């Protein structure tokens, strides 16, 4: 049990969560904030988040206020005075009893300082000198082998929140730990029925399917409809199979949530939207190349993972079984499903959609 003696959680009235970005990291922080709320339902919790990710927190029952931060309006060091002025005007009057810096970077450390006091908690492994702003520095002994969700849970456990036991994790509904909005509807073709939601592209190097792989995968699904999503991409170069409903670069964040809630199955490359899907459903296959799926893949154990011949549930993966290999990034620069891998993945998804597995 963590020793809560350094901070009186029972005596706190207000708390500020600092986790501005990114999509996946904001999602990963939700269970920690949920557990904090469960431990202290009367604690008034505010959350600083980048404006583009604030829709994720809309209607969140654990929060008093969502504070959108206009990060995109600030361009590097030249706009530091503008950012400082925003922090002073927006956060300076809050004076929360507790500040939780889940970001662990210089910018979030400065935001912590701008709140004007309160007991500041962050990670000992925080970068860029952010830990200089903390009253309590929480060590994570195996940082590089610990999933972000578990790191963030450890942060609130260090101030007295009961640990989430393995039994509790298996028993609880993941939706209770990841409170997300219902989402905004998308106009889909009439009578589309059960569909596969495919998110095939990532900004990360060596993580994206090629258009040829997308076309091959969708074609192998036969008549099963595939809704294709992804930001900043348009279909190019390959003939589009007739079962594809192309929504590339046409969905908002909340529309993506709505689609994930209604998909029969979700297939995604290693990316922020994959973590969003994992917060919503276990009917998910996460495609990995060089990253360790146990560390950066879906947190929930009933989701599925593929990496170079392995296809299984997250709960079946042993620590260290598929370590990160950054040297492989260039090997996957032009596609991630070599040989018969596309057929293997498509057959698996078909079996899940048909209820055969």
Each residue's pLDDT tens digit, 315-336: 999 999 999 999 999 999 999 9
- Which tokens go with 260? 């994930």
- CA-CA distance, 146 to 294, in Å (whole number)? 9
Each residue's pLDDT tens digit, 284-305: 999 999 999 999 999 999 999 9
Q: Give the chain's domains with CATH numbers.
A: 4-177 (3.40.50.2000), 196-353 (3.40.50.2000)
In DSSP notation, 295-356 reads HHS-SSTTSEEEETTEEEEGGGPPTTSS---GGGTGGGTT-S-TTTHHHHHHHHHHHHHTT-
Entry pTM? 0.94
Contacts of residue 1, defined as CB under 8 A and 6 or more positions apart, other chains included, come to 163
Q: What is the pLDDT of residue 174?
A: 82
Q: What is the pLDDT of residue 66?
A: 98
Each residue's pLDDT tens digit, 163-188: 998 888 888 888 899 999 999 999 99
Say whether pLDDT at 3 is over 60.
no
Higher pLDDT, 263 or 117: 263
- CA-CA distance, 346 to 356, in Å (whole number)? 13
Phi, psi of 175 (to 5 degrees): -60, -25
Quick one: which of 262, 274, 281, 146 has its CA closest to 208?
A: 274
């Amino acid at each position: 049990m963590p020793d809560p003696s350094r901070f009186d959680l029972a005596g706190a009235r207000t708390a500020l969560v600092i986790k501005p970005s990114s999509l996946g990291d904001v999602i990963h922080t939700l269970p920690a904030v949920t557990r904090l709320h469960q431990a202290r339902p009367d604690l008034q919790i505010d959350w600083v988040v980048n404006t583009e990710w604030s829709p994720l927190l809309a209607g969140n029952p654990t929060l008093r206020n969502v504070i959108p931060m206009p990060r995109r309006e600030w361009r590097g060091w030249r706009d530091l005075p503008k950012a400082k002025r925003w922090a002073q005007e927006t956060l300076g009057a809050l004076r929360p009893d507790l500040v939780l810096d889940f970001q662990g970077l210089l910018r979030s450390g400065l935001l912590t300082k701008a709140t004007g006091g309160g007991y500041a908690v962050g990670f000992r492994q925080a970068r860029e000198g952010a830990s200089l702003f903390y009253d309590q520095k929480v060590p994570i002994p195996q940082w590089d082998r610990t999933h972000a969700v578990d790191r963030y849970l450890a942060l609130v456990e260090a101030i007295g929140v009961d640990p989430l036991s393995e039994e509790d994790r298996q028993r609880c509904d993941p939706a209770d730990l990841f409170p997300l909005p219902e989402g905004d509807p998308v106009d889909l073709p009439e009578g589309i029925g059960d569909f596969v939601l495919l998110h095939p592209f990532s900004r990360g190097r060596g993580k994206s399917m090629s258009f040829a792989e997308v076309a091959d995968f969708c074609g192998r699904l036969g008549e099963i409809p595939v809704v294709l999503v992804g930001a900043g991409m348009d279909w190019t170069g390959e003939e589009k199979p007739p079962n594809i409903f192309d929504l590339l670069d046409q969905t908002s964040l909340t529309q993506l949530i709505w689609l994930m809630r209604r998909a029969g199955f979700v297939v995604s490359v290693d990316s922020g939207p994959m973590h969003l899907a994992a917060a919503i459903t276990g009917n998910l296959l996460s495609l990995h190349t060089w990253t360790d799926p146990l560390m950066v893949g879906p947190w929930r154990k009933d989701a599925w993972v593929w990496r170079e011949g392995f296809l299984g549930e997250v709960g079946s993966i042993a620590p260290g079984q598929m370590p990160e290999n950054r040297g492989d990034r260039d090997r996957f620069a032009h596609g991630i499903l070599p040989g018969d891998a596309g057929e293997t993945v498509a057959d698996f998804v078909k079996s899940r959609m048909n209820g055969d597995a």
